[in-house]
Amino acid sequence: MTNSPTILVFDSGLGGLTVLREVVAGRPDAHYVYVADDAFFPYGHHSEDEIIARVVPLMGELIGRHRPDLVVIACNTASTLVLSHLRAAYSVAFVGTVPAIKPACAQSRTRRVSVLGTKGTVKREYTKALIRDFAQGCEVTLVGSPELASLAEAALGGIPISDEAILAELAPCFVGDASDASARTDTVVLACTHYPLLLDRMKKLAPWPVDWIDPAPAIARRVSELLGPPTGGIAQSGAEMFFTSNRVHGLSATLTPFFGGRAVA
């Protein structure tokens, strides 16, 4: 491991920035490369076989180009499908993003938990296995949102998004008697890294207060464990962002906070 490790963060779009933000906070000594596979966004519109066939060779190209010490797959859809294939194909360390069902069910007091994800993520066998293994007697409601990831991308780009559009995606998460705090959903798992981009608005629009479970802090802790103790100070360079469509990001001021204040090349 060099004094300044290189961490590659990969997502279908801009949602992985919410994971990047936590990882950068935990490892300011690292150089960061963020890759958005926007040429294939959204992943939820493609079959499982298409996503595997897309991501595995693409990751090989990215590893060859950027030589990362560790790769974060900051996408639930890709992680639940492709992570095992990537680990079999490449020797670099991978950290994935999967629905945080175990901690959500462990902390729920009403035993009613909702998992808000893309349609692909919530129907996947991987997610159902997590429920079987870790629900701990909770009633788990799976909510497949068709548009929330795209709404989050648009909002980050400065496009106005109505409250009604967000609430339409969010409402099915809230199950039970609204007037009885002991008999309604009290925990919502954010099973898509795009969703924390809209979290402040979702909190305001929610019909009652719930705990929102974002896996990003746990991912950041895992990254730091795998890299070992920091050996250098804050890395001032190495913040790069690439789109597979080869477009220029044009979001410098918006992106800087996600990269820990670094200018993004």
Catalytic positions, please? 75, 192
DSSP secondary structure letters along 238-256: -EEEEETT------HHHHG
**Distance in angstroms (rounded) separating the CA atoms of residues 52 and 43:** 10
What are 158's two structure tokens? Answer: 């400065």
**Distance in angstroms (rounded) separating the CA atoms of residues 69 and 7:** 6
3-state secondary structure of 76: helix
Phi, then psi, of 26 in degrees rounded to 5: -80, -30
57: nearest Cα among 90, 31, 8, 14: 90
**Distance in angstroms (rounded) separating the CA atoms of residues 99 and 79:** 10
E strands within 187-236?
187-191, 211-213
Asked whether the beta carbons of 188 and 46 are under 8 A apart, the reply is: no
For the beta sheet containing 239-243, the strands, ordered from the edge strand earlier in sequence to the opposite edge, are: 93-95, 70-73, 6-11, 31-36, 239-243
